[in-house]
Amino acid sequence: MLAHPPTPRTGLDSPVLVLNRGYQPVRITDARDGFAMLYLGRARVLDASFEPHDFDAWAERRPSPDDEAIGTARGPIRVPRVLLLDAYNRVPRAPLRLSRRHVYLRDDFTCQYCAGRPGVKELNLDHVLPRSRGGRSTWENLVTSCRRCNLQKAWSLPEEAGMHLLKRPVRPSWSLALTLAAQRRRFAEWEPFLASVAPAGEAE
Ligand SMILES: [Zn+2]
């Protein structure tokens, strides 16, 4: 029996861990995209006992009151936490978005000039080549800096200000670890699959 597509009401922004057919995590998506993949038969839900379920089978299972669910024409459907892709290479690994939080995570919340860790409120993004001199906002030109070093450096290059970078800033090669670290919500259902994910900053 073919179901009606889910009618969105709540929970559609919840993060969902996506595994390839080898049960390795490939990305985190939102439930909106997850339900679309499930409905189109591109992925199945893995339940807590690692049993895969297609859309119809998953929709048959009534959510318990504690479960996050969305309303559909055939009743509430539980938001999946883990999806298993049907094909190996259908979903390319998404590039890591350049954001303040991701730069802080890459640099382990450490000022790249004085190695201080003053806490996130005291951190700034520093353009190594200042914007006033044509420096762009890229992974290679942005570093985590404490306010004090940021002020001291001002519109100079690090060497002009007598400062040295702890390490050369690069685009992180393993984006899933950073994406995971940046997640504000994590679920127990993900944990069995995360052992293969390298810590932030390590090569893939
Ligand atoms: Zn500093």
Q: Which residues surround ligand 1, an ion (CB under 5 A)?
A: 111, 113-114, 116, 146, 149
Same domain, 70 and 112: no
pLDDT digits (tens, 9 = 90+) for 152-190: 999 999 999 999 999 999 887 656 766 777 777 888 888
CA separation for the pair 39, 55 (Å, rounded):
6
- The region of weakest confidence among 7-16, 89-98, 146-155 is 89-98
Q: Residue 14 phi/psi, 5° resolution?
A: -60, 140
pLDDT digits (tens, 9 = 90+) for 54-80: 999 999 998 888 889 988 888 899 999
Domain count, the chain: 2
Considering the chain, what percentage of its residues have pLDDT values greater than 90?
50
List the CATH number of the domain containing 132: 1.10.30.50
Q: How many CB atoms lie within 10 A of CB 23?
A: 14
Same domain, 20 and 86: yes
Q: Give the distance (Å) from ligand 1 centre to CA of residue 163.
A: 10
Q: Give the distance (Å) from ligand 1 centre to CA of residue 116.
A: 5
Q: Output the CA angle 19-20-21, nearest 5 degrees.
A: 120
Q: Is residue 139 part of a domain?
A: yes
Could you tell me if 154 and 124 are in contact, meaning their C-beta atoms sit under 8 angstroms apart? no
Mean pLDDT on 43-48: 93
Q: Residue 147: what pLDDT?
A: 96
Q: Please report which helix (H) or strand (E) contains residue 147, including its range.
A: helix 147-153
User: Which domain range does residue 112 map to?
Assistant: 100-153
Same domain, 55 and 112: no
Distances in whole angstroms, Cα of residue 116 to Cα of each of 51, 107, 119, 165? 47, 11, 9, 12
Same domain, 32 and 87: yes
Q: Is residue 44 part of a domain?
A: yes
Q: Give the distance (Å) from ligand 1 centre to CA of residue 121.
A: 13
Could you tell me if 153 and 113 are in contact, meaning their C-beta atoms sit under 8 angstroms apart? yes
Place of tokens 């670890």: 177
Res. 203: pLDDT tops 50? no
Q: Is residue 116 part of a domain?
A: yes
Q: Give the distance (Å) from ligand 1 centre to CA of residue 118.
A: 8
Same domain, 36 and 87: yes
Same domain, 78 and 104: no
Q: Is residue 197 part of a domain?
A: no
Res. 115: pLDDT tops 60? yes
Q: Give the distance (Å) from ligand 1 centre to CA of residue 185.
A: 30
Q: Output the CA angle 120-125-128, nearest 5 degrees.
A: 145
Q: Give the distance (Å) from ligand 1 centre to CA of residue 124.
A: 10
Same domain, 86 and 24: yes
Q: Residue 13: what pLDDT?
A: 86
Report pTM: 0.58
Q: Is residue 132 part of a domain?
A: yes
Res. 7: pLDDT tops 70? no
